A and B are shown apart, each in its own frame.
Chain A
């Protein structure tokens, strides 16, 4: 625990050590972690594989951008508006949740993918949201990596706290019961519909806030970047890599995946996708329970 606190103190100090490239790198590490926690709350706990999770990231970014455009004159730190992005994403999950969570398995995965693409197309045809040319924000916000970085940290700690709570609550047991056998869970008295929607709404919030924070940092959002399917895949991979449905899995998975990606991009310029792909295949083949699963088995053996 102490080492964990030490590590966090060190990480939080990064922006104050003067290297903005280190700050921006760790920003994307935090992003992966938060998004992995976000999808873990739904997919990790209930087993509903969400292939359109990026829709919440995108909605959060757009809602935040609209807030920034409308209220930048108030002079508050723009990162505050990312909370509105999270709430908007949750609202969308609430409306969408009841119908879409009735579908199970592969059908659910395909439906969520469809929803995400549909929202993206609707936005790129809405002139008020910049249409296919996106929304530039540079005129309203100052480029402020430190604020962005600290906002991401707050978000990460909140996501961890919520996951910790869920993992040890009746709610969390209910979600796991749904994952193991939804019909049995229902017979046992779990309000499966309510539980699933609640998990969906919670997970949407974190992705939404993350989208908002990134929208402000990149000073420009468009549907291509903020609704890309590959972002959903990254979230799923980070979660699986760390260990799904666990407390520390998304943290470890997000950390390893983001650094792996960055390292391959920087040092193996043109081959990075290939190398990255091979590493992922190996991980999935040999670490099906994720890194946390392996650690657990080790400690059990040792213990």
Chain B
């Protein structure tokens, strides 16, 4: 909705061959049900006759929407869909906006490599669910490719209430970095027990949990120095060559929605719209095939970060996760350098 406001009031429509087109968003509540998604996307396409589609939230519903879109030859811009598998189903009409799961932890390894060329040993511990497993597998591959030793690679049940045995094994390997995690509760537990058992590392990067303000509330000063990946943060500071500045997005969003700070979900939704807008402008057409072709050669620097797809599959390849770190009780973006607002505090002192 913020994107609709941006196009219709700030850029004054999308100029295609001398005609200004204004955005009209049509949306329904899918109630997170696959069967509703089928009926509602059919309605969007054949009754509301929309020109372009966005995916619903979550990979599961995204699959269903992509299937319906493909059967009608429609282009669908994916937002809130992190599973890599959707781009392995043979669809060519799905355009990715966010970093897929297999690359969630890759930026952490880049950061480590940059700040500590002597660091060698990485321990990966993850929750046993497919999303975390995908992130962990991606991290393992990337670590090995970059000359690190993966000294520990192990999982724990997603409902675990005690991680001491896993952490004891990790401690024995004396790692430079401990990365992984899964969800909120186990992420907090991981840090709590690492302290109790005096498991030290120069860098901790934990999925999902670190991003939440409640992470600091649960752990207090123990949360300091802990890092974690995120698709976007309200304080990122990318160089922007297309679309509004990050500041504009955050302040406009807050004005529109009761002073609420946007989460990365809102930012990726806006970014998906912006991405489509750029492709339409480049194609100078509303024709699906021409816009799809325009995406292939499009490379943007937006408030959300760089955007570019792999031409064959449509998966996002340029956008990378930002890394946040808790510094004195404040969550700051510390990576990549193009988006960072503070330097990472490294190494983390022992507990």
User: Per-residue CB proximity of A217-236 to B under 8 Å, as 1/0?
Assistant: 11111101110101100000
Known: A24-B39, A265-B28, A266-B28. A132 touches B63 (CB 8 A): no
Q: Which residue of chain A has the shortest Cβ distance to B88 in the bound complex?
A: A139
Q: Judging by beta carbons under 8 Å apart, are B46 and A133 in contact? A: no
Quick one: which of A23, A28, A134, A230 contacts B60, CB cutoff 8 A? A134
With beta carbons under 8 angstroms apart, the residue of A28, A127, A136, A222 that contacts B86 is A136
* Interface secondary structure of B, over-half rule: helix
Interface residue tally on B, bucketed by range: 35 or more
By a beta-carbon cutoff of 8 Å, the part of chain B in contact with chain A is: 27-29, 31-40, 42-43, 45-47, 59-61, 63-64, 66-68, 70-72, 83, 85-86, 88-91, 128-131, 134, 158
Residues of B within 8 A of A270 (CB): 29
Contact status B29-A220, CB under 8 Å:
no
Residue pair B130, A27 in contact (C-beta under 8 Å): no
Q: Are B38 and A224 in contact (CB under 8 A)?
A: no
A143 interfacial by beta-carbon distance below 8 Å: yes
Task: Contact check, A138 vs B35: say whether CB atoms are below 8 A apart.
Answer: no
B46 pairs with A20, CB closer than 8 A: yes
Summarize A's interface: helix, strand, loop or mixed.
Answer: helix
Q: Are A219 and B67 in contact (CB under 8 A)?
A: yes
Q: Which residues from chain B contact A226 at a C-beta distance below 8 Å?
A: 34
Contact assessment for B33 and A225 in the assembled complex, using a CB-CB cutoff below 8 Å: yes
Known A21-B39, A133-B131, A224-B60; judge A218-B34 contact (CB<8 A): yes
Tell me how many residues of A have a C-beta within 8 Å of chain B.
Answer: 41
New contact pairs (4) apart from A139-B89, A266-B28, CB-CB < 8 Å? A133-B130, A133-B131, A138-B67, A143-B71
Chain B residues contacting A224 (CB-CB under 8 Å) are: 32, 60
Nearest CB of B to A200, in Å: 24
Least distance between A156 CB and chain B CB atoms (Å): 15
By a beta-carbon cutoff of 8 Å, the part of chain A in contact with chain B is 19-21, 23-25, 27-28, 31, 124-125, 127, 130-134, 136, 138-139, 143, 145, 214, 217-222, 224-226, 228, 230-231, 262, 265-266, 269-270, 272
Given contacts A19-B46, A138-B67, contact A222 B90 (CB under 8 A): no
Q: Given that A218-B67, A222-B60 are known contacts, is A136 also in contact with B89, CB under 8 Å in the complex?
A: yes
User: Can you give 20 contacting A-B residue pairs, CB < 8 Å?
Assistant: A19-B47, A20-B72, A21-B46, A23-B42, A25-B43, A28-B35, A28-B38, A132-B130, A138-B63, A139-B88, A145-B42, A217-B38, A218-B64, A225-B34, A225-B61, A265-B29, A265-B31, A266-B43, A269-B27, A272-B29
Kindly report which residue of chain B lies nearest to residue A131, judged by CB atoms: B130
How distant is the Cα of A262 from the Cα of B28 in the complex, in angstroms? 10
A31 touches B35 (CB 8 A): yes
Please give the distance in Å from B68's CB to the nearest CB on chain A.
7
Give the residues in chain A near B129, CB-CB below 8 Å: 124, 131-133
User: Given contacts A133-B130, A224-B60, is CB(A218)–CB(B35) below 8 Å?
Assistant: yes
